[in-house]
Structure 1
Amino acid sequence: MKCPFCHHDDTQVKDSRPTEDHNAIRRRRLCGNCGARFTTFERVQLRELTVVKKNGAKEPFDRDKLLRSMRTSLRKRNVDQERVERVVNSIVRRLESSGESEIQVKTIGEMVMEALLQLDEIAYIRFASVYKNFREVKDFEEFIDTTVRPDGDD
């Protein structure tokens, strides 16, 4: 494993243990060149996934990009990061076990929306504002009225 600090190719594993959900191995590593310590995670990957964008462009699925987008929506919200990791793991498992190697970006977006609604309504609205490309305040109002409060509760 290459050191993220000095890019030296030789690092040593100092400690390995399973994550709390037992879906990955957490490894503490030490760079023999610069002495830096860092953590890596080893996960099972069932299949290579490709994301098909709205414009037809394709790119490899990036779990970290999914995690970053959820964390951005959840910024300054009181949601446990381990819970977010479990949700991301669940989404990845669902995608990998879908039988499809090419996944539409819309499918991923809908899974994230569904998960965020369960985690935190504010994060759900934040994500939706970008995902659904809200342009003005009435877009937020309509979205909240139809999805967060569909029965009209205030």
Structure 2
Amino acid sequence: MRCSSCQHTNSRVLESRSAESGQSIRRRRECLSCQHRFTTYERIEFVPITVIKRDGKRESFDRSKLVRGLVRACEKTGLSSGQLETLAEEIEAQLQGRSLREIASSEIGELVLLHLRPLSEVAYVRFASVYRQFRGIRDFVDTLNHLQNPLNCPQNQDTPSDFDASATSADPCDRESPASCATGS
């Protein structure tokens, strides 16, 4: 490993430990030439995931976009940055665990909602309002009714671990509009 200070190629490892919930290894190193200490990370290289956007465009999965959306939705909800980082890791791990390398952005949105629901109803509604493009107060009311009485929608028994990547939405009630569950149709 090349030293970040003097560019010498010989260093020794002082300490190694698991990081990012076991997804990487953090190594503390010391340059044998200048004694500069620096940190390196070793991560598994995943096959890239392609996200199919609403307009049909394709782009590489960008974890930072996921984190930004979570941060925005969870602002002032009491969820820590560590919890959001863990949530992003869990969602990304589920996406990486799929056999298919392409996923619709709508599937990612539904997966995020499945994870947000048990953590924060406020974050769930905020994320849903942007992701589902709420057009009026009725969309909010329908979503709130759905949150308060999920029994109106008996198919809604999914949990984040039950995510079915082959479905457009992991929650059958939410595929078309939040109103479909609140009205029982």
Percentage of identical aligned residues? 36
Residues of 2 paired with 1:85 and 1:40: CA distance? 19
Partner of 1:33: none
Larger radius of gyration: 2
Contact 1:46 1:97 in 2 (8 A): no
Residues of 2 paired with 1:20 and 1:61: CA distance? 19
Residues of 2 paired with 1:27 and 1:120: CA distance? 35
* 2:82 maps to 1:82: yes
Residues of 2 paired with 1:148 and 1:27: CA distance? 47
Structure 1 88/135 Cα, relative in aligned 2: closer, same or farther at 3 Å?
Answer: same
The SS at the match of 1:71 is helix
The SS at the match of 1:78 is coil
Partner of 2:4: 11
Query: Deviation digits for residues 6-51 of structure 1, max 9, x if unmatched?
Result: xxxx8359986432622234578xxxxxxxxxx8865423311110
* 2:53 maps to 1:53: yes
Using the size of structure 1 for normalisation, the TM-score is 0.74
C-alpha deviation, 1:106, in angstroms: 0.8
Equivalenced residue count is: 138
Structure 1 27/72 Cα, relative in aligned 2: closer, same or farther at 3 Å?
Answer: farther
The code of the aligned residue for 2:4 comes to T
Residues of 1 paired with 2:18 and 2:26: CA distance? 6
Structure 1 27/112 Cα, relative in aligned 2: closer, same or farther at 3 Å?
Answer: farther
Structure 1 49/149 Cα, relative in aligned 2: closer, same or farther at 3 Å?
Answer: same
Structure 1 81/26 Cα, relative in aligned 2: closer, same or farther at 3 Å?
Answer: farther
The SS at the match of 2:51 is strand
Structure 1 113/45 Cα, relative in aligned 2: closer, same or farther at 3 Å?
Answer: farther
Residues of 1 paired with 2:15 and 2:64: CA distance? 23
Partner of 1:95: 95
Partner of 1:135: 135
C-alpha deviation, 1:88, in angstroms: 1.2
Residues of 2 paired with 1:44 and 1:83: CA distance? 22
Structure 1 151/99 Cα, relative in aligned 2: closer, same or farther at 3 Å?
Answer: closer
Structure 1 24/138 Cα, relative in aligned 2: closer, same or farther at 3 Å?
Answer: same
The code of the aligned residue for 1:133 comes to Q
